[in-house]
Amino acid sequence: MQPDAEVPQKHLSPTTDGADWDDIADWWRAEVADDPVYRHTIIPMYERLLANVVGPVMDLGCGEGQTMPVGGSGTIGVDSSSALLRHARGKGPVVRAAAPELGCFRDAVFGAVGSIYLVDLLEDVGRFFGEIARVVRPAGVLVVVINHPVFTAAGSAPIADVDGEVLWRWGDYFTPGWSEEPAGHRTIRFHHRPLDMLLTTAATCGWFLDRFEEHALPPEAVASMPGYEGQDSIPRLLGVRWHLGMS
């Protein structure tokens, strides 16, 4: 077997603990503007997972505000980048804050929090789940969409069999770790956690699992990048919906 199939680029979120995204804001906006993964998989999955929530909704890591309308008119966008928030203001009210620190918000004020491609960038995921549990009302909802942990492990990659079938090498899946991924003219630190660690950390902070979705790259993305051919049966995206237990 040869590792000659192309590795899909890990998707990022504009908010990460301590990183300044203002200098790569234009790069980020160009990345998501016509991204078939966003258009055909991420946004539809986010809409399903966030359906029937009671607001107000926080879009945490909202970036330029592309997904803020999904949460309805009561959505508040939160991001660390002033440059991206200038664009997000056209979609609703915004607040500048860097996850996982949400100290600017009072306890139990949100009906739901949603985040896309953010958890992968946070070193302290326990703080993320804990802070959101603080600002969300009892029985409130948390929706997270991330790169699938199968995809983010060190050494994981597609490999092509002798007959052309594309398989997946798991790499060091069970070991948490991080890597530096390209983001415009620089890099961003990207964290891997096995699925059991992610779900157990959420449960420890009081979150109860409601829904769990796994998806491969959409056909539109595979068609747009010849190197992705054969990867339409490999887990690439993960979406989870939790509700907060009553205290």
Three-state SS for the chain is CECCCCCCCCCCCCCCCCCCCHHHHHHHHHHHHCCHHHHHHHHHHHHHHCCCCCCCEEEECCCCCCCHHHHCCCCEEEECCHHHHHHHHHHCCEEECCCCCCCCCCCCCEEEEEEECCHHHCCCHHHHHHHHHHHEEEEEEEEEEEECHHHHCCCCEEEECCCCCEEEECCCCCCCEEEEEEECCEEEEEEECCHHHHHHHHHHCCEEEEEEEEECCCHHHHHHCHHHCCCCCCCCEEEEEEEECCC
Place of tokens 């595979």: 222
What is the predicted pLDDT for the residue at 247? Answer: 59
Which pTM was predicted? 0.89
Which structure tokens are listed for 152?
């983010």
Domain coordinates of the chain in residue numbers? Answer: 22-244
What is the predicted pLDDT for the residue at 229? Answer: 78
What is the predicted pLDDT for the residue at 10? Answer: 46
Provide the residue-wise pLDDT of the chain in tens; the chain has 247 residues: 334 444 444 454 444 433 478 888 888 888 777 788 888 899 999 999 999 999 899 999 999 999 999 999 889 999 999 999 999 999 999 999 999 999 999 999 999 999 999 999 999 999 999 999 999 999 999 999 999 999 999 999 888 888 888 888 999 999 999 988 888 888 888 899 999 999 999 999 999 999 999 999 888 878 877 777 778 888 999 999 999 997 5
22-244 has CATH 3.40.309.10 classification: no
